[in-house]
Chains A and B, each alone.
Chain A
């Protein structure tokens, strides 16, 4: 069956450090992978999309890598701030192409 696995434990880091979140997947053949941010009680917000032929993508303090051989994506937030505290979700389209499936998410807490 298709699986998307993210760090199950919450990640606590100090302000200014780099946060690195991991997304591993099995039985997907993704053309691209997406990352979303979700604040408590609110809907997810799209952050970045990376295609299979892109090794790395950046947006401001965010960086995403995508290794289709390892079946893994890494999501980095550099110079983290308390406002970055949220749950971050990794998402892949099902092999049928329509449904966007999400991982369980990783909770990030950035402390001053």
Chain B
């Protein structure tokens, strides 16, 4: 049973560019949450998707957007990249509409130059 998978694992972009990160949840899970983790910090909640809708959003600008597909996979898009967007982006899924423990992927490491 595959766990949460994320792609790409590493990527380098320049300021002003756009990036799309992808996530496949664990089999049987219907809820996907995205987190940003800067070096030395805890994961910061970006948003959560359930039934293809953004259900809750954290304190992130509109440059951060997402999508959930009918097969529950999800994408995170970041536009107009800033140096401060450099971080580990984590996807997490859960089987209980987002309540309870989360299962995390290994993350996508984004570096903005």
A98-B56, A100-B33 as given contacts; A105 in contact with B99, CB under 8 Å: no
Looking at chain A's contact residues, the main secondary structure is loop
Residues of B that sit less than 8 Å from A by CB: 4, 33, 35, 40-45, 48, 55-56, 58, 88, 90, 92, 98-107, 109
Q: Which residues on B sit within 8 Å (CB–CB) of A97?
A: 99
Beta-carbon contact of A45 and B42 below 8 Å: no
3 A-B pairs with least C-beta separation: A43-B104, A102-B42, A98-B56
Number of A-B contacts (CB under 8 A): 56
Taking A46-B103, A99-B58, A105-B42 as given, write out 12 further A-B residue pairs in contact, using a Cβ cutoff of 8 Å, ordered by the A residue number. Answer: A43-B107, A44-B43, A44-B102, A49-B100, A89-B43, A94-B56, A96-B56, A99-B48, A101-B45, A102-B43, A104-B41, A104-B42
| Cβ contact within 8 Å between B90 and A43 | yes
Q: Which of A43, A46, A89, A93 contacts B106 (CB 8 A)?
A: A43
Binding site for B on A (CB under 8 A): 4, 34, 41-46, 49, 89, 93-94, 96-105
Q: Which of chain A's residues have a CB closer than 8 A to the CB of B40?
A: 104
A104 to B35, CA, bound (A): 13
In the bound complex, how far is the Cα of B35 from the Cα of A50, in angstroms?
23
- Per a CB cutoff under 8 Å, which of A41, A46, A105 touches B102? A46
Complex: A110 Cα to B43 Cα, angstroms: 24
* Min CB gap A22→B, angstroms: 15
A21 to B: closest C-beta gap in Å:
13
Query: Counting chain B CB atoms within 10 Å of each CB, which of A41, A96, A102 scores highest?
Result: A102
